[in-house]
Amino acid sequence: MKTFFLKVNFICILLIFAFISNIFYSKEAQAELLKPNWSFEGFFGTFDRASLQRGFQVYKEVCASCHSMSLVSYRNLGEKGGPEFTEEEVKAIASQYEVTDGPNAQGEMFTRPGRPSDKFKSPYPNENASRSANGGAYPPDMSVLAKARPGGADYIYSVLMGYEEKVPENIKLEDGVYYNKYMSGNKIRMSKPLSDGSVEYSDGTKASEQQMAKDVTSFMMWAAEPHLEVRKKLGFKSVLYLLILTILVYLIKKKIWSRIESKV
């Protein structure tokens, strides 16, 4: 029995050592994430409307050729708390896409110009087509990517800015794989998507790599949490309500106990 417990203790020690070693290795292998000054951070943070509109332009011209946003509709672009495009702008954006609809009276599918109520059009008809076009890799849907990844917006921004031509000697890259110092494992199949001047911003803002990465990350954050501003306002009102209620309860308690003490 004593030998059995010694073996169990030895195995536990090995597992703990392996766990701790893995943690230190992960921290060494992956650089600390970049942390830009996001407008939506903090208790009173809000989205920058101009940045969201520029971010949509980056997604449309750069990201949408591979990545879908299946949970976002064109009408969402005009809703309060988001990019807040005008109704006419939303209709114009949606109409640029051909959407498959139907069946019609003859039982056949047909195509039509997009409407504000339509979801963002996917670049591929299905996952298999997506993998086939990208060498077996599946470009993830970007609808909630900013919330699904550990590190959130900081992680997305860091990965976009983390491509480096100089690869450490201990990392071997396969064909079609790129080095990214912020990506988990430091390997990524997506080639560097952004470079200075990749898009020409319609509002005249200089399209530097950092600016585009920040704008598209903000847009992705909004897509993942479109009601962020409403939630924060509701949270502030709730805290204020509870604070007032606490003060009233305290005053009532003081008044009640003052009567009891006076009788005593």
Residue-level pLDDT at 240: 83
- The pair phi, psi for residue 106, each rounded to 5°, is -90, 5
Q: What parts of the chain have a pLDDT lower than 50?
A: 1-2, 4-29
Residues in the chain: 264
User: DSSP letter string over the chain?
Assistant: -HHHHHHHHHHHHHHHHHHHHHHHHHHHHSPPPP----TT-STT----HHHHHHHHHHIIIIITTT---TT-BGGGGGSTTTT---HHHHHHHHHTSEEEE---TTS--EEEE--TTSBPPPSSSSHHHHHHHTTT--PPP-SSHHHHSTTHHHHHHHHHH-B-SSPPTT--PPTT-EEBTTSGGGEESSPP---TTSS--TT-----HHHHHHHHHHHHHHHH-TTHHHHHHHHHHHHHHHHHHHHHHHHHHHHHHHHHHHH-
pLDDT tens digits for range 60-74: 999 999 999 999 999
CB 179 within 8 A of CB 254: no
Q: Which CATH architecture has domain 29-72+119-226?
A: Orthogonal Bundle (1.10)
Two structure tokens written together for 163: 């491509």
User: DSSP letter string over 124-155?
Assistant: SSSHHHHHHHTTT--PPP-SSHHHHSTTHHHH
Residue-level pLDDT at 241: 86
pLDDT tens digits for range 181-225: 999 889 999 999 999 999 999 999 999 999 999 999 999 999 999
Residue-level pLDDT at 253: 82
Residue-level pLDDT at 121: 94
pTM given for the model:
0.81
Residue-level pLDDT at 12: 43
Residue-level pLDDT at 95: 97
